[in-house]
Chain A
């Protein structure tokens, strides 16, 4: 029994690598304008460019990239906000679901524009088929394409020795959809549809069950969305229970497909980076550090889940395969533990089991994965997050050996390091302040006369209750989107607070790295010499990992000690 569960996750990870490595080389070729078999789409893309008034050959510098990216994102925010609020007056609403409250629409639209997909509603009752497809699924595609497009501009900064030309944002964005996201999503969607995920537009069904009870069944065109929600590391599901729902993830096979598809692009982007800038060894070093970090989170997670809940063991029940609360039988604890690690490292945030019911230490690893947010990381942006750690590591290593720090032939100076430091500091600031504000409101104003009084927020007492708040804020900042869903989060306080954190948590870690890359690329190229600090060695890789561990441990240990760590020690006592 147990062996097949372990074999299943090994197979899933190996298949992920087998597919993502060639995909990375394909992505590098597409964006370098080389010959690839999908070039037959060129005439079709030219129609898009002509219709939109874009000259794909017009080069942009880093500031123009950011302006284009922020403009189109702002447009989606405004347009989506109103559609969500008035969805009840629009077509394709066979179940007659209501419009969203302004604060819920505020949170939801930000959450999907920023690729987070925190969901303070349940898909079955909170959205219509129109908003599921025209807002939610649309943003699944375009927020992922935004991440890829900016990552490609970042690649271009290091391709030439000295340059201000980082390609054309609109072209990167278009190609990310037509050459990468849409074709792969279509394949995944068809595989899912043929394995039981619904794809028709029919409304809820009413049937009489075997025991004679009348049953209502929610469904809808979910397959198309479930495919891109994973491929784009979005995570926001069709149904409330996300990929734990049997219609969203019907079997062990679909579970493997969905688990593989959410890791594909984050890993492929690292491979693509190495090929694109002609430094494969650097890419493998980065991949090595990320994989080591991933395994350091995965292995203890497996141990903690497969061991079962000691409190239930005290009741006399033997848990042969591991802890089962909040998990589905068809996946089993091993595949659910594996998923909980991948979904938090790559910022998908979809779940195939409820994180609120996982063991305390599993919760700790989920939080750490989101706090680091760069072990593979989100679609396109994972590499940008990692780049910030690299800059800090180069700077510190430079100080240690007494050399001017350099990154790929460009001198790293005060301005770049300041930006990197700022980006590093913003995460703990947002997470700590957000959690502190929530904890303060909960304890000092528990009975405030709000729609939902703060004292009613938590689904669990004591340390675990604190973890529910810490997790929600961490997930928002990391643009992850998973949650300890017991938290009563659909109210003014949580909708507004996490909405604001989502915006900063998304755009600062995009603006910062691209600004550094743009500034570096402009500088004079210094050829490598014996005195150059090598950044593609094992020593430097370990140095980077140490920086990641130290920075995050210093920032978050006190908060983690109050939540999952304290809960763990009360559990085993």
Chain B
């Protein structure tokens, strides 16, 4: 047995040094050259950090665009989805309540205009994005609340629409935090 135990121990030691010390330190060092310096890219407003570009926040005030429902209420100390099954009656009731809330705050909105992402919780609970349709149905509310012309809001949505990768792959989307920061910037 000794012929197997000694190489096992020694290989474990040498690969621990290589894989757990040298490799991650090398990656960590290389990442210092990236946009977020390896600590996550931040978004600022007037020089003040107001969030991480990739992490959604809980927006509920009328002058901001709202993100998706979240199972962890956008608390980025953790992360989780709702894990509700598609036929769970309590879950379907919850979705129905979200639809009612949206209808209440968006007069004139019809049920079949509501995009699915606005009434379903994301996988991480921290989804930074909404679909373009989800931003458009909120435009009127934001415009009224901010007392700016609707056309200006629509234009901002267009500017902040992120196209598919290379224009070819994946969905279009909007980063809610960046759009809201842009809203606050135009006010000034």
Beta-carbon contact of B23 and A124 below 8 Å: no
Q: Which one, B107-115, B139-147, B151-159, is touching chain A?
A: B107-115
CB neighbours (8 Å) of A319 from chain B are 116
Beta-carbon contact of A217 and B123 below 8 Å: no
CB neighbours (8 Å) of A464 from chain B are 85-88
**In chain A, residues 202-240, which have Cβ atoms closer than 8 Å to a Cβ of chain B?**
202, 204-205, 207-211, 213, 215-219, 221, 223-225, 239-240
Instruction: Verify if B149 is at the interface (C-beta below 8 Å from A).
Output: no
Say which residue of B91, B96, B171 sits within 8 Å of A1 (CB atoms). Answer: B171
CB neighbours (8 Å) of B45 from chain A are 210
Interface string of A304-331 (1 = CB under 8 A from B): 0000110110011111111111111111
Beta-carbon contact of A329 and B122 below 8 Å: yes
Q: How far is the CA of A142 from the CA of B1 in the complex (A)?
A: 21
CB neighbours (8 Å) of B129 from chain A are 328-330
Q: Which of A7, A133, A325, A332 has the most CB of B within 10 A?
A: A325
Instruction: Verify if B186 is at the interface (C-beta below 8 Å from A).
Output: no
CB neighbours (8 Å) of B133 from chain A are 320
In the assembled complex, how far is the CB of residue A61 from the closest CB belonging to chain B, in whole angstroms?
14
Say which residue of A53, A219, A255, A326 sits within 8 Å of B83 (CB atoms). Answer: A326
Q: Which one, A356-364, A378-386, A438-446, A448-456, is touching chain B?
A: A356-364
Instruction: Verify if A247 is at the interface (C-beta below 8 Å from B).
Output: yes
Beta-carbon contact of B123 and A209 below 8 Å: no
Q: How far is the CA of A358 from the CA of B91 in the complex (A)?
A: 13
Interface string of B1-42 (1 = CB under 8 A from A): 100111111111011101110011011101111111111111
Beta-carbon contact of B23 and A52 below 8 Å: no
Beta-carbon contact of A48 and B14 below 8 Å: yes
Knowing A1-B171, A224-B24, A252-B170 are in contact, say whether A210-B79 is a contact too (CB < 8 A). no
Interface string of A118-151 (1 = CB under 8 A from B): 0000101100000001100110011000000000
CB neighbours (8 Å) of A462 from chain B are 87
Beta-carbon contact of B85 and A213 below 8 Å: no
Say which residue of A7, A193, A332, A571 sits within 8 Å of B38 (CB atoms). Answer: A193
Interface size of B by CB at 8 A reads: 103
CB neighbours (8 Å) of A79 from chain B are 12
Beta-carbon contact of B40 and A196 below 8 Å: yes
CB neighbours (8 Å) of A428 from chain B are none
Beta-carbon contact of A7 and B168 below 8 Å: yes
In the assembled complex, how far is the CB of residue B52 from the closest CB belonging to chain A, in whole angstroms?
6
Say which residue of B10, B77, B79, B120 sits within 8 Å of A204 (CB atoms). Answer: B77
Say which residue of B54, B81, B180 sits within 8 Å of A356 (CB atoms). Answer: B81
**In chain B, residues 67-89, which have Cβ atoms closer than 8 Å to a Cβ of chain A?**
68, 74-89
In the assembled complex, how far is the CB of residue B90 from the closest CB belonging to chain A, in whole angstroms?
8
CB neighbours (8 Å) of B30 from chain A are 190, 193, 199
Say which residue of B11, B23, B52, B56 sits within 8 Å of A173 (CB atoms). Answer: B11
Beta-carbon contact of A328 and B122 below 8 Å: yes
Beta-carbon contact of A312 and B95 below 8 Å: yes
Beta-carbon contact of B57 and A199 below 8 Å: no
CB neighbours (8 Å) of A31 from chain B are none
CB neighbours (8 Å) of A316 from chain B are 99, 111-112, 114
Q: Which of A54, A209, A251, A311 has the most CB of B within 10 A?
A: A209
Knowing A193-B30, A224-B28 are in contact, say whether A256-B169 is a contact too (CB < 8 A). yes
Instruction: Verify if A106 is at the interface (C-beta below 8 Å from B).
Output: no
In the assembled complex, how far is the CB of residue B173 from the closest CB belonging to chain A, in whole angstroms?
5
Beta-carbon contact of B123 and A328 below 8 Å: yes
In the assembled complex, how far is the CB of residue B72 from the closest CB belonging to chain A, in whole angstroms?
9
Beta-carbon contact of B84 and A486 below 8 Å: yes
**In chain B, residues 134-188, which have Cβ atoms closer than 8 Å to a Cβ of chain A?**
164-165, 168-173, 177, 180-181, 184
CB neighbours (8 Å) of B126 from chain A are 241, 245-246
CB neighbours (8 Å) of B92 from chain A are 311-312, 315
Instruction: Verify if A352 is at the interface (C-beta below 8 Å from B).
Output: yes
In the assembled complex, how far is the CB of residue A271 from the closest CB belonging to chain B, in whole angstroms?
26
CB neighbours (8 Å) of B130 from chain A are 329
In the assembled complex, how far is the CB of residue A438 from the closest CB belonging to chain B, in whole angstroms?
17
Instruction: Verify if A244 is at the interface (C-beta below 8 Å from B).
Output: yes
Q: How far is the CA of A204 from the CA of B123 in the complex (A)?
A: 21
Beta-carbon contact of A189 and B164 below 8 Å: no
Beta-carbon contact of B55 and A247 below 8 Å: yes
In the assembled complex, how far is the CB of residue B157 from the closest CB belonging to chain A, in whole angstroms?
15
Say which residue of B18, B125, B177 sits within 8 Å of A182 (CB atoms). Answer: B18
CB neighbours (8 Å) of B99 from chain A are 315-317
Say which residue of B111, B173, B180 sits within 8 Å of A330 (CB atoms). Answer: B173
Q: How far is the CA of A250 from the CA of B1 in the complex (A)?
A: 47
In the assembled complex, how far is the CB of residue A370 from the closest CB belonging to chain B, in whole angstroms?
18
Beta-carbon contact of B171 and A354 below 8 Å: no
CB neighbours (8 Å) of A68 from chain B are 4, 7-8
Beta-carbon contact of A201 and B164 below 8 Å: no
Say which residue of B18, B23, B85, B181 sits within 8 Å of A224 (CB atoms). Answer: B23
In the assembled complex, how far is the CB of residue A335 from the closest CB belonging to chain B, in whole angstroms?
6
Knowing A4-B164, A199-B28, A312-B92 are in contact, say whether A142-B117 is a contact too (CB < 8 A). no
In the assembled complex, how far is the CB of residue A185 from the closest CB belonging to chain B, in whole angstroms?
8
**18 CB-based A-B contacts, threshold 8 Å:** A52-B11, A54-B7, A72-B8, A190-B30, A199-B34, A200-B39, A207-B42, A221-B24, A241-B126, A246-B124, A315-B96, A328-B129, A329-B117, A329-B129, A356-B85, A464-B87, A485-B81, A567-B85
Interface residues of A (CB under 8 A from B): 1, 4-5, 7-8, 11, 48, 51-54, 67-68, 71-72, 75-76, 79, 122, 124-125, 133-134, 137-138, 141-142, 170, 173-174, 177, 182, 185-186, 189-190, 193-194, 196, 198-202, 204-205, 207-211, 213, 215-219, 221, 223-225, 239-241, 244-247, 250-253, 255-256, 308-309, 311-312, 315-332, 335-336, 351-354, 356-360, 459-464, 467, 484-486, 567, 570-571
- Nearest first, the 7 closest Cβ-Cβ pairs linking A and B are A316-B111, A244-B123, A486-B83, A199-B31, A8-B169, A464-B85, A354-B81
Q: A247-B55, A327-B120 are in contact. List 7 more A-B contacts (CB 8 A).
A: A4-B168, A75-B5, A247-B40, A252-B164, A330-B171, A460-B84, A460-B91
Interface residues of B (CB under 8 A from A): 1, 4-12, 14-16, 18-20, 23-24, 26-28, 30-42, 45, 49-61, 64, 68, 74-89, 91-92, 95-96, 99, 111-112, 114-117, 119-131, 133, 164-165, 168-173, 177, 180-181, 184
